[in-house]
Structure 1
Amino acid sequence: MTETPVTAPVFPPGRYGRRRSGKPTSRLLIGVLAVIMLAMTGWIGVRLYQAYGDTDYSSAVTRFSLADREVSVEFIVRIPAGASASCIVRARNAAGVEVGRDMIVVDAGVDPARTVATHRLVTSDRPVTGEVEGCVPAGSGATLR
């Protein structure tokens, strides 16, 4: 089998306007754009980590016990030594509706990384779960996301 030679198309003169010569993109320009994109990606990553990343104040529910119109929530809070945290404790019913909410202040314990707190929350309906929405530095005016 023989191959057919491929030739460049020939256009009639003056019909399609002047053809541009292709200029190769400068390697320097590509390098500069790559560095700018890398810097922007890094900056965005740092900003997102600052907003949503690991904090000095965190909480985890260890257990909760339910009654007809109340829930007792036991949780561990990580607090910097000598500081206090404001934590939001809430309860929800079977439909997922919030039926109780309190903000409590927890002081750092002997081991600030594992301060245990217990809170009894009175609810407006029968709860099915008790949870800690989050913790922020006490008195800082910071709000939970």
Structure 2
Amino acid sequence: MSETHTTNPVFPPGRYGHRRDGRRRPVVPILILALVVAASVLISVKLYQRYGQTDYQPQIVGWQEPSDTTMTIKFTVRVPAGEKAECVLRARDYGGNEVGRRTVVVGGGDANATTIRAEEPVTTTKRASVGDIVGCQPAD
């Protein structure tokens, strides 16, 4: 049995481009990835501050249907001391369809109050059977 030695191939000059020895690091893709991750974290923090856990916590107390075109929703909202809350109220019919919606600003009267009790009417397109709060946020 004979032993054969292999040699590196010899390519014609200029035909196949430059041959690289070693490995280049992909600097540009790593920088782009770092920028995308940083932007994603920044956007996530901003959205969490706006819509995440909030000090504005609403709770339904009850509702009344005084007529076919109005529903009165009673609710409380926990807020930081002396702040106002902007709440979106919704009236739904027996099938769960939304028949009325209203945005209201409540509170701000007492500088030490952390709970606001409110009773607000919502105009409806037909008789509503359920009232609820979509959400509350700081009032501008």
Taking structure 1 as the reference length, the TM-score comes to: 0.57
State whether residues 82 and 113 of structure 2, in contact with CA within 8 Å, keep that contact through their aligned partners in structure 1.
Answer: no
Query: Corresponding residue for 1:90?
Result: 90
Query: Corresponding residue for 1:124?
Result: 125
Q: Which runs of 5+ in 2 are unaligned?
A: 1-5
Identity %: 31
Q: Deviations over 1:85-134 (max 9, x none)?
A: 232322123362x433334332267751x433233434330113212233
Shift in CA distance, 17/123, structure 1 to aligned 2, threshold 3 Å: closer
State whether residues 57 and 136 of structure 1, in contact with CA within 8 Å, keep that contact through their aligned partners in structure 2.
Answer: yes
Query: Corresponding residue for 1:44?
Result: 43
State whether residues 90 and 100 of structure 1, in contact with CA within 8 Å, keep that contact through their aligned partners in structure 2.
Answer: yes
State whether residues 88 and 102 of structure 1, in contact with CA within 8 Å, keep that contact through their aligned partners in structure 2.
Answer: yes
Shift in CA distance, 120/8, structure 1 to aligned 2, threshold 3 Å: farther
Q: Which runs of 5+ in 1 are unaligned?
A: 1-6, 141-145
Distance (Å, rounded) in 2 between the aligned partners of 1:102 and 1:18: 69
Aligned length: 128
Q: Deviations over 1:57-111 (max 9, x none)?
A: 3423344344652433232212221122232322123362x43333433226775
Query: Corresponding residue for 2:3?
Result: none
Question: C-alpha displacement at 1:38, in angstroms?
Answer: 4.9
State whether residues 67 and 126 of structure 1, in contact with CA within 8 Å, keep that contact through their aligned partners in structure 2.
Answer: no
Distance (Å, rounded) in 2 between the aligned partners of 1:41 and 1:8: 50
Query: Corresponding residue for 1:17?
Result: 16
Taking structure 2 as the reference length, the TM-score comes to: 0.59
Distance (Å, rounded) in 2 between the aligned partners of 1:127 and 1:8: 87
- Is 1:77 the counterpart of 2:77 in the alignment? yes
Secondary structure class of the residue paired with 1:126: coil
Secondary structure class of the residue paired with 1:24: coil
State whether residues 57 and 80 of structure 1, in contact with CA within 8 Å, keep that contact through their aligned partners in structure 2.
Answer: yes
Distance (Å, rounded) in 2 between the aligned partners of 1:87 and 1:59: 8
